[in-house]
Structure 1
Amino acid sequence: MEVERVQALATAGLEALPAQFVRPSHERPENSRAIEGVTVPVISLSQPHDVLVREIHEACRDWGFFLVTNHGIPGELIGRVQDAGREFFRLPLEEKEKYANDPSRGSFEGYGTKMTKNHDEKLEWVDYFFHLMHPPYKVRHDIWPQHPPSYREVTEEYNEELLKVTEVLLELISEGLGLEKNVLKASLGGDQMELEMKINLYPPCPQPQLALGVEPHTDMSALTILVPNDVPGLQVWKDGNWFAVDYPPNALFFHIGDQIEVLSNGKYKSVLHRSLVNKEKTRMSWAVFCAPPQETLIGPFPELINDQNPAKYSTKTYAEFRYCKFNKLPQ
C-alpha cells in the first residue's frame, strides 16, 4: 500500500502545503485561536489523599484533562523513552516502511500516517508508530522497532511504571465518582486492561496556520497518559474555547477518554483536543492509551443511574465502540 509519509514531504523542501492537508476555514488555527496563559489543572500526587480525590474529581468534571506532577516516574526514564522514539524516526524511510501498518484492513500496529476515516478526506500533518504494550500475552514484539536496540528494554520499563501510576489514578477517579476505589479498573478488564503506545511525529510544516497535526477529537480509550517534547501544540476545548496547554517539566498529561465518560454516565467528559504544528520545529508526543479488552462490555455504572439521572449511553463491547469511532458512525 503506497502511502505518502508526512516526514518525507516535510524534508522535500515544500514551500506550500499540499491541498489534502489544508483544513476547512473554520478549523484552521488562524481562524480558531486558542486562549493562552490559562493554567489547566496541575495536580501533585504528593498531596493528602482527600485533597487528591477532590482535585481530580474537579478536573475530570470541569476539564476532562489535567497534568500530574510528583508521579514517581523518573525523568531520566521518560528521557530514554523519548530518545528511543526520536531514534526510530531518524531511520531512513525504507527502514521505517518495514514496519508499515494497514488501517484499511484493521491492522493499526506499526508505522503509519492516517488512522481514521475523515468525511472530507483531509489529512493530518503527522506520522506515528503504534503498538500494544500490555498485557504481555497480547504484545507482538516482532513489530516493535528493532532500532534503536534499546527500544524494547526502555519501553517495557516505562510500561511497568505506567501500570503503577494508572492504577493510582483509576482508584482516585473511582473515588471521585463516589465508588469503591477498585471499581473502575475492574470494569476496564482488571489486569487484562490494555496499554497502547502511540508515538506521534509532527514535522515542520510550511504553512502551520492552515494545517492540524491531529484534528479535534476525543480519545476512544478510558484514559490517555501523554508526554510531549518541548515544542508546544496541544490544545483542549472547554466552555466554547480552545485553551493552549503549557508543559511543566516532568509532568504527565492525563486525558479522560470516551470509556470513562460512558462509565460515569457523563459525569466526567471525554476531553476534545487537537494538536497544532510548527513551521520551524518538529513536535513529538508519546501517548499511552489505557483501554479495556475488545470483548469488554462498557455501559454506565448502575450506581450512577436513577430516575432523575437515567442512562445517557448504551452498553456495548469496546470492539463495537471502536468500530463505530474509527468509521465515524453514530454510537
Structure 2
Amino acid sequence: MLVTQVSLYIVGSLFCFVEKLRNKKIAFRMEFDRVQTIASLSFDKEAIPEEFIMPEKEQPAITTFRGLAPEIPAIDLSDPDQEKLVGLIADASKEWGIFQVINHGIPSDLIAELQGAGKKFFELPQEEKEVCARPRDSESIEGYGSKLLNDPQEKKTWVDHLFHRIWPPPSINYQFWPENPPSYREVNKEYAKYMRDVVDKLFTTLSLGLGLEGHVLKEAAGGEQIEYMLKINYYPPCPRPDLTLGVEAHTDLSAITILVPNEVPGLQIFKDDHWIEAKYIPDALIIHIGDQIEILSNGKYKAVLHRTTVAKDRARMSWPVFLEPPGELVVGPLPEFINKDNPPKFKTKKFKDYMYCKLNKLPQ
C-alpha cells in the first residue's frame, strides 16, 4: 500500500514538473512571437537594424522621382455617362494598372470609422493584439503579425499587419476579427456590405472596357465566391525612412485590390521607369489591377508594380481589400483574347497554386 502511494506521489510530481515546463515553454513562445513585430522592437532612435536597410537601387531617398510627375488618374465613379466612365477606367487599367475613384458610394463617415477602429487596434498593448495572432503553423495568412520570421537572408520591411476575410460569410473566421475596440466588428461588417456594390461596378466597367458583356470578368474571377481579404498595414514611425521600405516592389496576386489609405503619403507606383508617389485624395478609393485580371485579359490590363515608403514622425496605415478567386478556381486567359496572333501569355492554373508559387517566389 505504501509503495503504491509513493509511486502515485512520484508520478504526480513528475506530471506537475512536466506541466510547469510545458507552461514555461508556451509562455516563452508567446513572448518570442510578441517581439517579432516592428511595433515592439527596441532600436536606436537615429538608426535601424542592418536587416532593414535596402540596397541602394531600392532606397526611397535615391529612387523616388523628384520632378514634375504625372498623377494617377482620378475617376468619378458616379458619372452618369457610362461610355465615358468605361473608357476612363479601361484606359487607366491598360496604361497605369491603377486609378483612384471618388463618389463611389461608401459614406465618408464609415471610412473614418473603419480607419478609427483599425488605428485603435494597433494602439493596443502588444499582448492584446496577440489574441488575433496568426498561428505559427498555419497555412493561411490570416491573423496579426509581421514578416520578421521570414528567411533570415532576406531584407526586412517596416510593417506590421492584420489579415482577415470580410466576405462572403462562409469564408469568414471571426477568430481573427478583433473584439477590441468594441466597434471593430460592426464597422467591418458594414464596410463589406458597401464594398460589394463598388466591386460589382468595377468588374462590370472593366469587362465592358474589354468589349465583353458586363458579367464576364467577375464570373471568371469566381462570381459570388470571390473572397474579400482585408489587410490593415501598420507602418510605425521609422528613424531612417530614407533607407528602408514598408513593402517592397510587387504586384498583387488578387484580381482587384481596393485600398483606403490614411493621410500619411507612402504609396508609390512604377511608371515610365520612375517611382511616382500617389497623391492623397480624402475619401477616395485606390484601385489596383491585380495579377488575375492581367491573366484573364491576357495582358490587356496591367497589374501595377508598386511599393510603400514610411515616415519618420508619423505612423502610416492602409486598408486594402484583396478580391481573390476561391482556391480551387482555375484561372487563365479568356478565349476571347487568344488567337494565332495572340497566344496565351500566362499559364492556366488553380488560384491556390498560383498563390503558392507567388508567395514562395517560385516560377509560374
Shorter-chain TM-score: what band? over 0.9
Instruction: Tell me which stretches of 4 or more aligned residues in structure 1 moved more than 4 Å.
Output: 115-120
Match of 1:214 in 2: 247
Which residue, out of 77, 90, 93, partners 1:45?
77
Structure 2 residue 119 is matched with structure 1 residue 86: yes
CA deviation digits over 1:113-159, x for unaligned, max 9? Answer: 01896694111100000001111011011221010111111001000
Partner of residue 228, structure 2: 195
What SS does the aligned partner of 2:353 have?
helix
1:260 to 289, 293, 309: 293
Q: SS in structure 2 opposite 1:210?
A: coil
Decide whether the 8 Å contact of 2:37 with 2:148 is kept in 1: no
Give me the whole-angstrom Cα distance separating, in 1, the residues matched to 2:136 and 2:326.
19
Which residue number in structure 1 is paired with residue 45 of structure 2? 14
Give the distance between the partners of 1:141 and 1:105, measured in 2 at CA: 15
Which residue identity lines up with residue 305 of structure 1 in the other structure? Answer: I
* Alignment correspondent of 2:216: 183
What is the 5 A alignment of 1:109-128? 109-114=142-147, 120-128=153-161
Q: 1:139: which partner in 2?
A: 172
Within 5 Å, which residues of 2 pair with 1:1-331? 2-3=32-33, 4-9=36-41, 14-35=45-66, 37-47=69-79, 48-102=81-135, 105-114=138-147, 120-331=153-364
TM-score (norm 2): 0.88
Secondary structure of the structure 2 residue equivalent to 1:101: coil
| Structure with higher RCO (Cα < 8 A, 6+ apart) | 1
- AA at the equivalent of 2:51: Q
The structure with more radius of gyration? 2
Residues 85 and 185 (structure 1), Cα distance of their counterparts in 2 relative to 1, 3 Å cut? same
Provide the rounded CA distance (Å) in 2 between the counterparts of 1:116 and 1:150: 31
Total equivalences in the alignment: 330
Structure 1 stretches of 5 or more lacking a match? Answer: none
- Residue by residue, what CA displacement relative to the aligned partner does 1:142-184 show, whole Å, maximum 9, x if unpaired? 2210101111110010001011100000000001111110001
Change in 2 beyond 3 A, CA 1:325/1:151: same
Distance 1:286 1:42, change over 3 A: same
Deviations along 1:206-246, whole A, 9 cap, x unmatched?
11010000000000000000011100000001121111101
The residue identity in structure 1 corresponding to 2:122 is F
Secondary structure of the 2:242 match is helix
Give, as a single letter, the amino acid of the residue that structure 1 aligns with 2:205: L
Scaled by the length of structure 1, what TM-score is found?
0.96
Cα displacement string for residues 14-35 of structure 1 (whole angstroms, at most 9, x for unaligned residues): 3211111111121111221235
The residue number in structure 1 matching 2:10 is none
Distance in 2 between residues matched to 1:169 and 1:280, nearest whole Å: 36
Distance 2:324 2:52 in 1: 30
Whether the 8 Å contact between 1:102 and 1:108 is mirrored in structure 2 is no
SS where residue 101 of structure 2 aligns? Answer: strand
The question of whether the paired residues in 1 share the 8 Å contact of 2:148 and 2:156 is answered with: no
The one-letter amino acid of 1:303's match is: E
Deviates more, 1:34-43 or 1:188-197: 34-43
Deviates more, 1:103-112 or 1:209-218: 103-112
Aligned partner of residue 234 in structure 2, secondary structure:
strand
For the residue of structure 1 that corresponds to 2:253, the secondary structure is coil
SS at match of 2:41: helix
Deviations 1:56-89 (A, max 9, x none): 1100000000000110110000000000000100
Question: Is residue 34–residue 235 contact of structure 1 (8 Å, CA) maintained in 2?
Answer: no
On the 8 A contact 2:237/2:313 being kept in 1, the answer is yes
What CA distance in whole angstroms lies between the structure 2 residues aligned with 1:220 and 1:116? Answer: 21
